[in-house]
Amino acid sequence: MLYGDENLLYTKGQYVVSCTDIPVSSRVVKASEREPFVVLILELDSNIISNLILETKLPKNIDSDDRALAIADTDEQLLDSFYRLALLIEKSESERQIMAPIIIKEIYYRLLTGPLGNQLRLINTKGTRSNQISQVISLIKEKYSEKLNMNEIAKLVNMAPSSFYRNFKKVTQTSPLQYQKQLRLNEAQRLMLTGKHNAESASYIVGYESPTQFSREYKKMFGNPPKTNVKSLAAV
């Protein structure tokens, strides 16, 4: 998994926590019919996690790594929780509706008290720098196609511009403008893959004023011009 400039390798018996939406690229380097690549993915609910932090009185202000993504070894308790959650697939709908929220809350507790709990607590505790950056990420995602003044956004979370840019990169491993650009390019790729848009129309939809600039930045990110890249993806 490529996270900013860092190349992260995770394998069997490990788990990845992504505390907020961040740009990453990943690939499976080893898999076969005999030993397939299988993962369980659980979307994190920040409201439940925030309430759980208050209920359990877990530490709020911790001197910790602010990065939004990290890897750790899975212990037996966390693995057992996920196993019981997966088993609910075979149960009745009424049992799933009752038991799933209970097990998911248990999983959140295991994560919060585990080796990556610091990241989760920082992101989901109001007032921390990581939580403020998480709010900014949500704003940029909502308005990614618009012209954004990052200095004005910094004021919204009561940060000086220099502090804002520094903390944003600590969490996401990229700058605010680069993050917005990646959102635009990924959405443009999705639009073109639907077959309803070409490079020019997609570029305008995601906020570019110049199709030429769009094509140049698209090639830099994906390795090929839009038409070539989309054609190769569609053929897979």
Rounded average pLDDT per 10-residue block, the chain, 236 residues? 78 87 79 90 89 78 64 94 95 94 95 88 82 90 93 92 91 89 92 92 96 94 91 80
Give residue 123's pLDDT: 83
3-state class percentages of the chain: helix first, strand second, coil last, to nearest 5: 55, 5, 35
Give residue 118's pLDDT: 83
Give residue 46's pLDDT: 87
Give residue 70's pLDDT: 85
Give residue 56's pLDDT: 83
Contact 208, 214 (CB under 8 A): yes
Give residue 75's pLDDT: 94
Give residue 173's pLDDT: 83
Contact 72, 14 (CB under 8 A): yes
Quote the distance between the C-alpha of residue 46 and its chain's center: 13
Phi then psi for residue 50, to 5 deg, are -60, -45
Pairing of the two strands 14-18 and 6-7 = unpaired
Give residue 104's pLDDT: 96
Contact 107, 82 (CB under 8 A): yes
Q: In DSSP terms, which residues pair with 16 in a beta bridge?
A: 71
Contact 21, 168 (CB under 8 A): no
Per-residue CA distances from 190 to 9, 20, 92, 186 (Å): 27, 21, 36, 6
Give residue 122's pLDDT: 80
3-state secondary structure 122-147: HHHCCCCHHHHHHHHHHHHHHCCCCC
